């Protein structure tokens, strides 16, 4: 039964995902959190954050992780195959058709119609992550870290991998400092 669920979930994420790895994450979240309840939203967010720090395609890493979580190495292989194989076969079969219809106004219209949907899905995911940052850091630190990340990524053009690693390291120290401060405050009030 779990292999069937993994196959269906990964088939849907692989076939219905449009626009690359990050735009597929809402589909992964829907399958893992809402449909099959393999994890809660916080676990999904943490898994996604860790997966983003590793090299390689995010969708394949998430498929592998979900499969491994459910059924070990065999489940990871099963989930990855069900995620990438149908799409890969469809690409091979339809590649010649794309060349024939690439100048079609209908195709251009279809792509143009899907683009706002992807933008909304990515915006929703960014909002969810922003809420978690505010919840974890508070408004001030949340907005400051957002501003720093925006400055590093957009203005200074720092590679996203370095920014992610820097914020992971900062997060480790931030929580240690906050824990010390809270313990000290509790000690003074006791």
pLDDT tens figures, 20-57: 777 888 899 999 999 999 999 999 988 988 888 888 88
Q: What is the reported pTM?
A: 0.55
SS3 57: coil
Interhelix angle 41-53/58-101, nearest 10 degrees: 70
pLDDT tens figures, 118-168: 888 888 888 888 888 788 777 888 888 889 999 999 999 999 889 988 888
pLDDT tens figures, 77-93: 999 999 999 888 888 88
> pLDDT grade, residue 65 (50/70/90)?
very high
Phi, psi of 119 (to 5 degrees): -60, -40
Rounded to an integer, what distance in angstroms lies between the CA atom of residue 37 and that of residue 30? 9
Maximum separation of any 2 CA atoms in the chain, in Å? 76
> pLDDT grade, residue 190 (50/70/90)?
low
């Amino acid at each position: 039964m779990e292999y069937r669920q993994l196959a269906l979930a990964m088939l849907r994420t692989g076939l219905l995902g449009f626009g690359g790895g990050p735009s597929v994450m809402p589909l992964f979240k829907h399958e893992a959190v809402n449909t099959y309840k393999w994890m809660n939203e916080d676990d999904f967010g943490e898994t996604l954050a860790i997966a983003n720090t590793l090299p390689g395609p995010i969708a394949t890493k998430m498929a592998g992780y979900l499969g491994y979580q459910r059924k070990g190495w065999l489940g990871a292989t099963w989930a990855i195959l069900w995620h990438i194989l149908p799409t890969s076969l469809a690409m091979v079969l339809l590649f010649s058709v794309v060349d024939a219809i690439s100048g079609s106004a209908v195709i251009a219209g279809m792509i143009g119609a899907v683009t706002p949907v992807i933008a909304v899905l990515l915006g929703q995911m960014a909002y969810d992550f922003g809420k978690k940052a505010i919840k974890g850091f508070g408004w001030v630190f949340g907005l400051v870290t957002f501003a720093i990340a925006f400055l590093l990524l957009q203005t200074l053009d720092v590679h996203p991998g370095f920014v992610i690693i820097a914020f992971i390291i900062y997060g480790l120290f931030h929580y240690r400092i906050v824990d010390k401060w809270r313990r000290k405050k509790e000690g003074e009030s006791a």
